């Protein structure tokens, strides 16, 4: 019963401090709210970024190897070495396809960015044209809205057929359904639209099928000159299961080195990338951001904690006579100590609640922005982090309120009553 009385009176005293010392208490609570909000924001940012990365990569699957000229890492120091490498070729792809084991799919794609796509009436700029071959849909899931995807016979030929992204179809024909069976012109050559993809939205890395047009690789080759260093080319390999990733990677290295006739001791002139490489790179960046955010948060919490201590010392001074009377009537030192600690905890909890509200508003605003930008990014709230925020507030309240609470508890009752 006494515990609940202390909680009630601690809340009343905290509200009194808010009422009487508005500016001082507001600034203190603002520091606490900012500190806890910064911690919650760091958790929110890191969690959602990692969740979004995992989600986007899971759409493809974790058992994919990407063979390219560039490794997925910071290439600034070795840029001159990598830029001289040849692009992966269709012959590299054929060699891998004929010799690799324990794979469930392999695909080749060549890309030209910034292309102009026309119809008889409309045009779209800055479009990416992809020439594809092989098991593209086994590695890159494609949801068909209208029509169909390429047949195996079409992918093995230079037939002038095209599969459009949703945004591109809408831009050229007004609506996706009107694109089906229509003709588009790529570099002046007519292509018949056989299918349109579902609206996809951009993933975390800015990739989307919406503004792309897919055509068979042999048709692509009839449009663009294929040289050693351009256009950009990529081989993607779907491994049967993740346990075989290392084995298949070694097979890829062996086959490509033989195919490219690289002598022993000569460095590979190609890169084999995995999704985990992207995750590791991003996590390194996130760790730096997390440390910086937590440092700022701790500084703000220290400022807020000192503010709480100052407020309670003032409260002790103003209530010295009241404390003396309470002690004279039999209130224990523990009771006085706990009552002031309760007041400090309440003040910190007010700041924590404000921080949680700000985090919820941030999450809602972020989701609205993502929807407005048509970004396929995930937003989720981890309520355990909010409980951590409340726990931090309680610990901060106890730590910052202990000294003034102890000072109040150990006041001499007689001298306290004599205080004017």
In a 3-state reduction of DSSP, which class is residue 66?
A: strand
DSSP E strands in 63-102: the ranges are 64-68
Sign of the alpha-carbon torsion through 213, 55, 252, 101: negative
C-alpha triplet 222, 223, 228: angle, nearest 5°? 85
pLDDT of residue 239: 93
Percent of the chain exceeding pLDDT 70 equals 86
Residues 373 and 323 in one domain: yes
Residues 305 and 377 in one domain: yes
Token pair listed for 177: 């359904």
pLDDT of residue 405: 83
DSSP E strands in 92-250: the ranges are 103-118, 123-134, 144-147, 161-164, 183-186, 189-197, 212-216, 232-239
DSSP state of 120: S
Overall domain count for the chain: 2
Encode pLDDT of 13-49 as tens digits. 656 656 666 776 777 778 788 888 878 887 787 777 7
**Is 17:343 a contact under the CB 8 Å cutoff?**
yes
Distance (Å, whole) CA 296 – CA 41: 12
Residues 291 and 251 in one domain: no
Most confident segment among 1-15, 40-54, 104-118, 333-347: 104-118
Mean pLDDT of 325-331: 76
Residues 51 and 69 in one domain: no
Residues 127 and 255 in one domain: yes
pLDDT of residue 9: 64
Of 216, 303, 221, 281, nearest in space to 34 by CA: 303
Query: Which of the two residues, 213 and 39, has the higher pLDDT score?
Result: 213
Q: What's the chain's Rg over C-alpha atoms?
A: 32
pLDDT of residue 338: 79
Distance (Å, whole) CA 293 – CA 41: 8
Residues 259 and 121 in one domain: yes
In a 3-state reduction of DSSP, which class is residue 163?
A: strand
Distance (Å, whole) CA 200 – CA 330: 71
Name which of 216-230, 330-344, 389-403 the model is least confident about.
Answer: 330-344
State the Cα torsion 91-95-96-98 to the nearest 10°.
Answer: 130
Mean pLDDT of 66-86: 84
C-alpha triplet 128, 61, 63: angle, nearest 5°? 110
pLDDT class for 90, splitting at 50, 70, 90?
A: very high
Mean pLDDT of 129-150: 93
Domain boundary among 273, 304, 322: 273
Residues 138 and 215 in one domain: yes
Mean pLDDT of 74-85: 80
Percent of the chain exceeding pLDDT 90 equals 38
C-alpha triplet 203, 205, 207: angle, nearest 5°? 60
Residues 349 and 399 in one domain: yes
pLDDT of residue 393: 86
**Is 271:67 a contact under the CB 8 Å cutoff?**
yes
The CB density around residue 54, as the number of other CB atoms within 10 Å, is 15
Domain boundary among 250, 273, 296: 273
Name which of 29-33, 212-216, 355-359 the model is least confident about.
Answer: 29-33
Distance (Å, whole) CA 297 – CA 106: 48
Residues 243 and 361 in one domain: no
Rounded to 5 degrees, φ, ψ at 115 are: -95, 155
pLDDT of residue 54: 66
Mean pLDDT of 357-377: 75
pLDDT of residue 161: 97
Q: What is the pTM of this model?
A: 0.65
Residues 253 and 346 in one domain: no
Residues 129 and 166 in one domain: yes
Encode pLDDT of 285-319 as tens digits. 777 777 777 777 787 778 778 877 887 787 778 77
Round the average pLDDT of the chain to a whole number and report it: 84
Encode pLDDT of 240-296 as tens digits. 988 899 999 999 999 999 999 999 989 999 999 987 776 677 777 777 777 777 777
pLDDT of residue 29: 77
Name which of 91-95, 163-167, 201-205, 341-345 the model is least confident about.
Answer: 201-205
pLDDT at 326 over 80: no
Query: Which of the two residues, 346 and 127, has the higher pLDDT score?
Result: 127
pLDDT of residue 56: 65
Residues 255 and 133 in one domain: yes
Query: Residue 221 is part of which domain span?
Result: 63-273
DSSP state of 108: E
Helix and strand totals (H; E) in the chain: 15, 10
Domain boundary among 273, 299, 334: 273
pLDDT of residue 1: 57
């Amino acid at each position: 019963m006494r515990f609940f009385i202390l909680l009630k009176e601690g809340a009343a005293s905290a509200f009194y401090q808010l009422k009487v010392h508005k500016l001082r208490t507001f600034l203190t609570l603002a520091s606490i709210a900012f500190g806890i909000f910064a911690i919650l924001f760091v958790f929110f940012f890191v969690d959602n970024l990692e969740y979004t990365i995992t989600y986007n990569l899971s759409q493809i699957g974790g058992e994919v190897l990407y063979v390219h000229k560039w490794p997925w890492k910071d290439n600034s120091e070795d840029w001159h070495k990598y830029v001289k490498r040849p692009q992966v070729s269709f012959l590299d792809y054929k060699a891998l396809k004929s010799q690799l084991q324990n794979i469930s799919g392999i695909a080749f794609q060549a890309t030209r960015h910034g292309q102009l796509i026309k119809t008889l009436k409309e045009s779209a700029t800055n479009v990416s044209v992809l020439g594809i071959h092989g098991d593209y849909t086994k590695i890159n899931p494609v949801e068909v809205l209208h029509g169909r995807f390429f047949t195996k016979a079409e992918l093995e030929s230079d037939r002038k057929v095209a599969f459009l992204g949703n945004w591109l179809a809408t831009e050229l024909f007004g609506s996706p359904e009107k694109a089906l069976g229509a003709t588009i012109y790529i570099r002046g050559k007519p292509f018949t639209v056989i299918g349109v993809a579902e609206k996809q939205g951009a993933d975390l890395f800015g990739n989307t099928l919406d503004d792309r047009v897919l055509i068979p690789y042999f048709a692509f080759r009839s449009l663009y000159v294929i040289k050693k260093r351009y256009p950009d080319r990529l081989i993607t390999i779907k491994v049967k299961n993740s346990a075989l990733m290392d084995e298949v990677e070694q097979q890829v290295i062996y086959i490509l080195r033989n195919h490219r006739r690289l002598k022993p001791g000569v460095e590979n002139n190609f890169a084999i990338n995995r999704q985990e490489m992207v995750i590791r790179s991003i996590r390194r960046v996130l760790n730096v951001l997390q440390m910086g955010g937590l440092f700022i948060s701790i500084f703000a919490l220290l400022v807020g904690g000192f503010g709480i201590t100052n407020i309670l010392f003032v409260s002790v001074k103003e209530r010295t006579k009241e404390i003396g009377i309470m002690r004279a009537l039999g209130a224990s030192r523990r009771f006085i100590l706990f009552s002031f600690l309760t007041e400090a905890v309440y003040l910190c909890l007010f700041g924590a609640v404000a921080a949680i509200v700000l985090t919820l508003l941030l999450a809602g605003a972020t989701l609205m922005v993502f929807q407005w930008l048509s970004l396929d990014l995930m937003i989720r709230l981890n309520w355990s982090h909010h409980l951590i925020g409340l726990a931090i507030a309680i610990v901060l309240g106890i730590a910052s309120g202990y000294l003034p609470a102890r000072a109040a508890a150990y006041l001499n009752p007689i001298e306290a009553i004599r205080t004017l």
